[in-house]
Amino acid sequence: MGITLDQPTALNQATILRRTTLMLENRLDAADETSVLNLSALELDKFTALRIASKLMENSSIRVLNLSFNPNLITKDSKRGLRAILRALRGNNTVEELNLRGLPLNESDIEALLRLIKHQPHIKHVDIAECNIDDDGAALIIAALQENTSLESLNISSNYFSNQSVIDLMGVLKNNRTLKILTMVQLETTLSENDDTRISVATAIADMLETNTHLQELNVNANNLGAEGFYRVVSALRRNRSLSALCIAGVCTDETYPAQRINRTQAERLALALKENTSLRTLDIGNNLYMRGALPLIIDGVTANTSIWNFSLFYILIDLFERDMFSVALTTLIRTNKTLRTLDLSFATFHDQEIVNLTDALAKNTTIETVILDQVRLSVVDIAHILEMMKSNLTITHLEMSDLNQISFDYIDQRFQMYLCRNQLLQTLLMLEENPSAYSSELLLEVLTMVLASIEQLEQDTKAHTITVNWEQFSKEINVAGLYKKLYDQALQVLARYGLRFETAACINSASIRNLVGQIQVLLDAFNKTAVPEVLSNHVALSLFNPAVSPNAESRNPTAALTEQRL
């Protein structure tokens, strides 16, 4: 008798249980040394929940708890499952972020969660996306937000909020002073309503943005707001001065309905709002339909904006008769805007001359660090143009091209990697020059290791004896030996500030830098075995670059709002 996958044997079930239990125990043990406890999709149930609850009551280091996609945690037994974990969290004072995505929460579960948030103000970030929450659950959440003064970010995406629930939520958020991030991607019941209903929802969102002065990030991607709804939301940017990220992609997608397309008048008003707004850092308007001439007007508005770092135009359909207008607007943006850091052109369709125009503009750009050309159909000639651009551009450190692997030219891939390593090296040196005091000895070790890898990558290319730099801060020619000396001297200066001194090597090259890295590692190992000197412990930081010290750190590490799902 055969064994089907639909009916696993008791032996298979036991094996799965043992594997799950082992993974759970390993992650619980690791939680003692890390601030993140990730238990996503581990097939947890009401019994393993008790073990997790016990761990939470005794642990004092966990900051992030991820329970997403474990539907079996939901049980009618109020003493087990998710509610056992929520009760344990009432006695925990360290967890700040709670992820329950994909758990089919009922009203009792939502009430227990809201009681926890009320009594534990240290819980700042909650993700309850894809939790099957309907209007009854939405009403509980809205009522709790009226009183809550601690929650900073909330994700309610892919739930079943009616339009009225969304309107009620916006009404409450008008006076909320603590919520900074709201994500509500694809709220299911807003997808098939009539124009009047869509406009009512969009108007409520716009009214909230005009009144609320504390919300910093709003993601309404994939909600069918329509062209007029899109216009009403973005028009609020003229008066809102707190929002730093607006993701409003995929809200106008019905090709059969002309009124769903953003027209020139709406685009002109958005462009005006963008020219006046000085707080927005991220704008995602991809996957929307535009009437002829509308999109170039919006791009012109971004060009004139002086604050946007991240701009996404993914999956934009360009009218055949306005391709020239679009190309001119895009290249003008790249040539003249001095604040843009990330440009997402995924799924775009470029013709040969448009790629030439794009790469010519990027070659002279001195601010953009990330270019995303994912799922863009690129010919060998197109890639040759992009490769030629990278020879001149010294700021792009991240370049995404999904079709590159399909072409399978190893030497092309190696060249791209070399140029990206070169740019990372130059940007690291610039950071060291601007803010050398921002580095502790431990962070310096990470920097030296990364830069050493970049230098060795350069050495692998026999033609990379010199690097011609045409950059505002580096308007000179630097040879590889010069890079070694610059890095080595800078490292010694930073170490000296912490009372750590080494003799200067007679010959500064990759070997001497590697020796310096090794000496620092030995020193740090010794510190770890004894007491860490006060001068070092006062400079411990979690990130490679310390935003508190660097005035430019925020611009070099833009927000991650664009990483939210784009449906």
The per-residue pLDDT for range 360-378, each reduced to its tens digit, is 999 999 999 999 998 888 8
Is 117 within a domain? yes
pLDDT tens for 285-297 read 999 999 889 999 9
pLDDT computed for residue 421 by the predictor: 73
pLDDT computed for residue 11 by the predictor: 45
Is 304 within a domain? no
pLDDT computed for residue 473 by the predictor: 39
As for how many domains the chain has, the answer is 2
Is 41 within a domain? yes
The candidate with the shortest Cα–Cα distance to 84, out of 53, 128, 114, is 53
Is 31 within a domain? yes
- Measured from the Cβ of residue 242, the count of other Cβ atoms closer than 10 Å reads 12
Query: In sequence order, what are the residues at sequence separation of 6 or more whose Cβ sits closer than 8 angstroms to the Cβ of residue 377?
Result: 349, 403
Is 210 within a domain? no
Task: Reply yes or no on whether the pLDDT at 510 is more than 90.
Answer: no
Cα→Cα distances 240→133, 210, 213, 273, 502, Å: 30, 5, 7, 10, 53
pLDDT computed for residue 208 by the predictor: 97
Is 402 within a domain? no
Enter the pTM of the model: 0.79
CA dist., res. 42 & res. 499, Å (int)? 48
Under 8 Å between Cβ of 540 and 195 = no
Rounded to an integer, the average pLDDT of 306-310 is 96
Rounded to an integer, the average pLDDT of 479-503 is 64
Is 237 within a domain? no
Task: Reply yes or no on whether the pLDDT at 553 is more than 50.
Answer: no
CATH number at 91 reads: 3.80.10.10
Query: In sequence order, what are the residues at sequence separation of 6 or more whose Cβ sits closer than 8 angstroms to the Cβ of residue 324?
Result: none
pLDDT computed for residue 75 by the predictor: 83
pLDDT tens for 173-224 read 999 999 999 999 998 654 455 678 888 999 999 999 999 999 999 999 999 8
pLDDT tens for 232-270 read 999 999 999 999 999 999 998 877 676 678 999 999 989
Residues spanned by the domain of 491:
436-549
Rounded to an integer, the average pLDDT of 38-56 is 88
Under 8 Å between Cβ of 120 and 89 = yes
Is 295 within a domain? no
pLDDT tens for 435-475 read 656 556 566 666 667 666 666 665 555 454 454 444 343 43
Quickly state the pLDDT bin for 352 (edges 50, 70, 90): confident
Q: Report residue 27 CA to chain centroid gap.
A: 25
Query: In sequence order, what are the residues at sequence separation of 6 or more whose Cβ sits closer than 8 angstroms to the Cβ of residue 355?
Result: 378, 382, 385, 386
Query: In sequence order, what are the residues at sequence separation of 6 or more whose Cβ sits closer than 8 angstroms to the Cβ of residue 340?
Result: 302, 308, 309, 310, 311, 333, 334, 367, 368
Q: Report residue 250 CA to chain centroid gap.
A: 18
